[in-house]
Structure 1
């Protein structure tokens, strides 16, 4: 009489041990399922779109930043300089006793 006659083979022994355990068979069948394949494909597509979006957003931010530095910052500097000059003229006029000039719209 053989040891296997009518008995149950233990995990890791006999025919079940050669083809892998239950866990490895379930894992391989799960990883090869169409749902997992579609999920991986969707994740890959989402990653591709995110990279493209990030790249184009970076380009737009670079264009906006350099435009701001080249056009707006010099304008702010000139406006600040004009304001300081106007304040200085008002101080000098008040020290000399002249009535302060009204800045604003004239009618």
Structure 2
């Protein structure tokens, strides 16, 4: 039972009274607030994508620099420590006095 003579609400603008008026949904989706909201969301997504891309590049540069410069240094320091430990062990086995730590 449709109400006769009453105004019918339409979300899509089609159907209804047939007077050519737009529906509520199409009027809201074409408003300036919705347009600005979509633009801000689009700009935020674009900037986030650019930020993630540049962060990835920076992480790659930092990682490869670390591998090329720092890892060989760590390996060499470990070898030096092992050599010092071996010399200290040999000196204690042979009975020679252990070298004194350098004084500053």
- TM-score when normalising by structure 2: 0.79
Structure 1 vs Structure 2 CA RMSD: 2.4
* Partner in structure 1 of residue 99 of structure 2: 101
| Structure number, greater radius of gyration | 1
Higher relative contact order (CA 8 A, sep 6+): 2
Q: Which runs of 5+ in 1 are unaligned?
A: 1-6
Quote the Cα distance in structure 1 between the aligned partners of 2:18 and 2:95: 107
Report how many aligned residue pairs link the two structures.
Answer: 95
The superposition leaves residues 28-87 of structure 1 with CA deviations (integer Å, 9 ceiling, x where unpaired) of: 111111001000000111111111111111111111000000000000000000000000
Could you list the structure 1 runs, at least 4 aligned residues long, displaced by more than 6 angstroms after superposition. none
**Alignment gaps of 5+ in structure 2:** 9-14
Equivalent pair of 1:94/1:100 in contact (CA under 8 Å): yes
What is aligned with 1:4? none
Structure 1 match to 2:23:
25
User: Is 1:54 the counterpart of 2:52 in the alignment?
Assistant: yes
Higher share in helix: 1
Give, in whole Å, the separation in 2 of the partners of 1:96 and 1:19: 109
Q: Verify the 8 A CA contact 1:9 1:16 in the aligned structure 2.
A: no
1:42 and 2:44 matched: no
Residue aligning to 1:8: 5
Query: Hey, what does 1:77 align to over in structure 2?
Result: 75
